[in-house]
Chains A and B, each alone.
Chain A
Amino acid sequence: MTRRSQFVLITATIFASACFATISRAQTDQNGDAKQSIAPTWSHQIAPILYKNCTTCHHPGGAGPFSLLTYDDARRWSAQILAVTQSRYMPPWLPEPGYGDFADSRRLSAEDLASIKRWVSAGIPQGIPSEAPPAPRYASEWQLGPPDLILTAPESFTVPADGQDLFRNFIYPVNVTRTRYVRAVEILPGNARVVHHANILIDRTAELRRRHPNDWRAGIPGMELEIGSGDRFDPDSHFLFWKPDTPAVVEPPGMPWRIDPGNDLILNTHLKPTGRIETVRPRIGLYFTEQPPTRAPMLLQLEHDAALNIPAGDNHFVVEDELRLPIAVYALGVYPHAHYLGKQLEAWSVAPDGRRTPLILIKDWDIDRQSVYCYRKPLLLPAGSVLHMRYVYDNSVKNPRNPANPPVRVQNGNRSTDEMGHLWLQVLPVHATERNADGHEIDSRMLLERAWMEHRLARDPADSLAAYNLASLDAMSGNPAGAIAIYQKLPAAAEPADSPNAARTATSLGAAQQQSGDWQSALASYQHALILDPSYADARYDLATLELHHEQYEAAASDYRALLAKHSDDAAAHGGLAAALAQLQQVDAARAEFDRALALDPAQPDTLANYASLELAANNPQHATDLLTKAIAAGAHDAATYQQLAFADQQTRHPEEAEAALRSAIAADPANPTSHSLLAQLLAARGDLAAAIKEQQAALRINEKDADGWSNLGVLHAQSGQSTEARSDFEHALAIDPHHAQARANLQRLTAGASKN
């Protein structure tokens, strides 16, 4: 059974949009010649500029407030075109040139700016219409074609006609029955002029929905979110950032992102009132691939939120952070983020040899035009490089975006009136695995995660999230004692007892205690977590599973049922309940639960194997064989599953398959004595006593204290006429267990036989 102990990564509002790839959109060639002496015309010079840089948003039905597809459109808006291009308000592009070479730069060239200026000065001449390039066409629905899965917001949200900008989080339960890999995502906001930009977050544990059981369907207000990242170290590593001019986010080859049964997607939207009452009901289209990721990037964050305490009137408040990279990485993309007081945002990297690599510089930060920026070519940052961020804030009246007037002291926080200073860097380790301090080969991202969290904790010993993540890293690195020590300090140090994090910490403590073998303490920790938060599904699941493993079947069944009462589609919980019912000899009820679990998720190795055990016991070996074959196909490559398959094969009279299964069991775990013993029995039944003796001896080399094994070896020796060895084996068994009845009987039979001879 899998456990769901939590590993929390910082998963703030961000994410999606792969670096390296963008959808190819309708574009036209710039076929105009920019002869300085002749006034530019729309047909020759201006239409190509607009088609390349503007009409992805400014087309009928697009996110731009007006179309720029025709000459009449351009003429109508020529004054604005001139003003906003010369000021570089449009196209939206914040990075300064020379500080990072970004793909899909939208910065207009000096030549384009000059052409627009001369065109307006010349009286906005059209030129010869037939010589204009064809206008690009834009799909009104999905740009990438019909998605594999369309998610629709459960309810629409009404945006008032007037007032300040709104931030709304739409929650989408994802109805998949197995892990899927997403190669591309599209968002149809439903009302392009209202949805200013959006981020997709993957809520691995449906945490936000559980926090709002009664009102989640209408979406939850809030500018930023922090949610857990699930039960294994596979940190969400993609920028899933959407803005109107990039409606489809296509991941590079080998870098799809994962969605599991039970996950939610959260669409964190920035909504702008338009002057009339509007409704929005965004849809998300997912495009799947069957190919799991072959490259594992990671998002690193620089920040110093604790230092964000900006006095009213201060127009030059600086916040800095730095992070040393323990390993070499490629930087793929960067996402700088601040709220309304941010003024200048800058980041760079300094290599051990002192070489400085600029990562980004934004001189006039504007949250309304924020974006993810992908490097045209990955930037190699050697091991030992130090990442730096330096953000400057303006909390004076001179900052027009200041939410407060007169200014007030501003600290860090998730509301739009709070401030934030984050720099996310998407990196790809140069080597997917590295050796840790103990010499073990581990996921390179764990070294990055540890460096990141240790840096946070060194800066702020009260940083409970960093401590929590470090504890989780310890647990995953086989150091549950280290994890327990950290977890036990956490709740009192930072978390109020009623916070969701307190229950999560108690659950993770339980998981580490379970890992260390202290299952009674683990049981108590899970129960404590459920006192803190009786609805905490992960604690309930872990408790039930622990009870199941420790033969508390009634309690396990009760806890699984409590979980399923609120989460009826939890496949693993159905599987666990089935296993408990099987142990309670409620065979029919167990079968029904197994079937329900597999209907929800047909590829659960544990459930398939447990179901097979039931069928083996019920003398249905053929069904057991089918189930075990599926379990192996689903990833159950452990010795126990192969041993069960061997049993089933033996019962269906397929000894060759049984032998093959046992040899797979030995290959999967050569140190498992049972596999050798079973193979010895199989070989003996076939009459190959020499080979059987060899396997039984192999089993006993692994487990010398196995009295049964010695007795069995004695039988094999006796059957092959090696009485002396047989006697020694039986005596060995009796030395281990003087009451071993079979060994004693065998020894007596051997002695009697010898005296008879």
Chain B
Amino acid sequence: MPAAASLPSCSRREAITFITAAFGALLTPPWLRAGDIPVYGRTIDGATVTSLSAPSDKYTAGIFVATDCPISNRYLPLLARLSKEFAPRGVRLWLVYPNPGDTLAVVRSHQKQYPDAASLPQLIGPDPRFLGRAHVHVTPEAAVFHGDAMGQPVLWHGRIDDRYLTFGAQRPAATRHDLADALDAALAGRQPPPPGGPPVGCAIIPRA
């Protein structure tokens, strides 16, 4: 997890800033640029998230998941491994819970059942603008950004791997690792290759 909360900073691109829930509204910085998102969402502890990366992070990846989606749940052990593998290379993976039903309490309960989820930072109730910028539609699906995603168009989005090709067409093991390949390419300074196929999973529920 990123470091604990501190006061907001104008050098938002370099700092991870968490603000406790009680003061979040008061401390929202007034100097956002067009397209910036003041608050991405909340952590599992209820703290507001105003930045998704640490200074050392080169890329941020949001992995959109849902507590009630069996396919996204089945990916959690893999996502925990990917997080561990890419963190030292400057990539921070977030589990993002976009669905309105995935409240803090629901995600907390889910995390007790799926301990792998706890090994990644979690973003609950993300700002719809973040969702729109990520161009994701199902869980699980990933979106990769430069830095902390602030003001950035999505660099790459798509499936995690090719284990699921459609509902009913599932490989015993993935043969193409789209997200990992994309991150490897980005870290090597290359354009990430597009995913080899559409993501398969549960539709993200639009917030009313």
The stretch from B1-9, B31-39, B111-119 touching chain A is B111-119
Q: Closest chain B residue to A416 by CB distance?
A: B172
A65: B residues at CB distance < 8 A: 68-70
Interface centre among B72, B77, B116, B168 (most CB of A within 10 A): B168
Asked whether, in the complex, the Cβ of A276 is within 8 Å of the Cβ of B113, the reply is yes
B15: A residues at CB distance < 8 A: none
Question: B-facing mask of A338-363, CB < 8 A → 1, else 0?
Answer: 00100000000000000000000000
B175: A residues at CB distance < 8 A: 405
- The CA-CA distance from A120 to B97 in the complex, in Å, is 24
A138 to chain B, nearest CB (A): 19
Q: B residues 140-182 with Cβ under 8 Å of A?
A: 165-173, 175
Asked whether, in the complex, the Cβ of B169 is within 8 Å of the Cβ of A401, the reply is yes
Contact A162/B77 with A275-B114, A275-B116 known, Cβ cut-off 8 Å: yes
Asked whether, in the complex, the Cβ of A80 is within 8 Å of the Cβ of B75, the reply is no
B94 to chain A, nearest CB (A): 17
B72: A residues at CB distance < 8 A: 275
Contact of B170 among A66, A80, A161, A400 (CB under 8 A): A400
Asked whether, in the complex, the Cβ of B172 is within 8 Å of the Cβ of A87, the reply is no
Q: Closest chain B residue to A160 by CB distance?
A: B77
A729: B residues at CB distance < 8 A: none
Q: Closest chain A residue to B68 by CB distance?
A: A66
B113: A residues at CB distance < 8 A: 276
- The CA-CA distance from A78 to B172 in the complex, in Å, is 27
B43 interface residue, CB < 8 Å from A? Answer: no
Q: Closest chain B residue to A404 by CB distance?
A: B172
B114: A residues at CB distance < 8 A: 161, 275-276
Question: B-facing mask of A263-304, CB < 8 A → 1, else 0?
Answer: 000000000011110000000000000000000000000000
Number of A interface residues in the complex (CB < 8 A): 31
- The CA-CA distance from A665 to B50 in the complex, in Å, is 97
- The CA-CA distance from A80 to B167 in the complex, in Å, is 9
A606: B residues at CB distance < 8 A: none
A75 to chain B, nearest CB (A): 9
- The CA-CA distance from A275 to B170 in the complex, in Å, is 16
A369: B residues at CB distance < 8 A: 168
Asked whether, in the complex, the Cβ of A161 is within 8 Å of the Cβ of B172, the reply is no
Q: A residues 65-121 with Cβ under 8 Å of B?
A: 65-66, 76-80, 83-84, 87, 89-90
Number of A-B contacts (CB under 8 A): 76
A259 to chain B, nearest CB (A): 36
Q: B residues 60-115 with Cβ under 8 Å of A?
A: 68-70, 72-78, 101, 113-115
Q: B residues 180-205 with Cβ under 8 Å of A?
A: 202-203, 205
Q: Closest chain A residue to B205 by CB distance?
A: A76
- The CA-CA distance from A76 to B206 in the complex, in Å, is 10
Contact of A87 among B68, B76, B168 (CB under 8 A): B168
Interface of A is mostly: loop
Question: B-facing mask of A370-408, CB < 8 A → 1, else 0?
Answer: 000000000000000000000000000000111101000
A401: B residues at CB distance < 8 A: 169-172
Question: B-facing mask of A161-175, CB < 8 A → 1, else 0?
Answer: 110110000000000
Q: Closest chain A residue to B65 by CB distance?
A: A275
A193: B residues at CB distance < 8 A: 70
Asked whether, in the complex, the Cβ of B168 is within 8 Å of the Cβ of A366, the reply is yes
B173 to chain A, nearest CB (A): 6
Asked whether, in the complex, the Cβ of B170 is within 8 Å of the Cβ of A276, the reply is no
B69: A residues at CB distance < 8 A: 65
Interface centre among B69, B74, B205 (most CB of A within 10 A): B74
Q: Closest chain A residue to B101 by CB distance?
A: A76
A368 interface residue, CB < 8 Å from B? Answer: yes
Asked whether, in the complex, the Cβ of B167 is within 8 Å of the Cβ of A87, the reply is yes
A366 to chain B, nearest CB (A): 6
A405: B residues at CB distance < 8 A: 171, 173, 175
Asked whether, in the complex, the Cβ of A83 is within 8 Å of the Cβ of B77, the reply is no
Contact A164/B172 with A79-B203, A84-B167, A275-B114 known, Cβ cut-off 8 Å: yes
A401 to chain B, nearest CB (A): 7
Asked whether, in the complex, the Cβ of A276 is within 8 Å of the Cβ of B167, the reply is no
Asked whether, in the complex, the Cβ of B165 is within 8 Å of the Cβ of A161, the reply is no
- The CA-CA distance from A296 to B111 in the complex, in Å, is 53
Contact of B76 among A275, A340, A368 (CB under 8 A): A275
- The CA-CA distance from A164 to B166 in the complex, in Å, is 18
A89 to chain B, nearest CB (A): 4
Q: Closest chain A residue to B165 by CB distance?
A: A400
A90: B residues at CB distance < 8 A: 167
Asked whether, in the complex, the Cβ of A275 is within 8 Å of the Cβ of B77, the reply is yes
A502 to chain B, nearest CB (A): 35
A161: B residues at CB distance < 8 A: 76-77, 114, 116
B202: A residues at CB distance < 8 A: 77, 79-80
Q: Closest chain A residue to B99 by CB distance?
A: A76
A273: B residues at CB distance < 8 A: 74
Asked whether, in the complex, the Cβ of B74 is within 8 Å of the Cβ of A274, the reply is yes
Asked whether, in the complex, the Cβ of B166 is within 8 Å of the Cβ of A276, the reply is no
Asked whether, in the complex, the Cβ of B171 is within 8 Å of the Cβ of A400, the reply is yes
- The CA-CA distance from A368 to B170 in the complex, in Å, is 10
Asked whether, in the complex, the Cβ of B78 is within 8 Å of the Cβ of A83, the reply is no
Q: A residues 179-204 with Cβ under 8 Å of B?
A: 193
Contact of B168 among A79, A89, A276, A340 (CB under 8 A): A89
Asked whether, in the complex, the Cβ of A275 is within 8 Å of the Cβ of B75, the reply is yes
- The CA-CA distance from A79 to B66 in the complex, in Å, is 15
- The CA-CA distance from A393 to B86 in the complex, in Å, is 40
Given contacts A76-B68, A276-B115, A401-B170, 8 further A-B contacts (CB under 8 A): A66-B70, A79-B203, A161-B114, A164-B173, A275-B116, A366-B168, A400-B169, A401-B171
B residues with CB within 8 A of A? 68-70, 72-78, 101, 113-116, 165-173, 175, 202-203, 205
Task: List 20 A–B pairs whose Cβ atoms lie within 8 Å, in order of A's numbering.
Answer: A66-B68, A66-B70, A76-B205, A79-B203, A80-B167, A80-B203, A87-B168, A89-B167, A89-B168, A90-B167, A274-B73, A275-B73, A275-B77, A275-B114, A276-B73, A340-B172, A368-B168, A401-B169, A402-B172, A403-B172
What 7 pairs across the A-B complex have the smallest Cβ distances? A79-B203, A162-B77, A65-B70, A275-B73, A89-B168, A275-B74, A89-B167
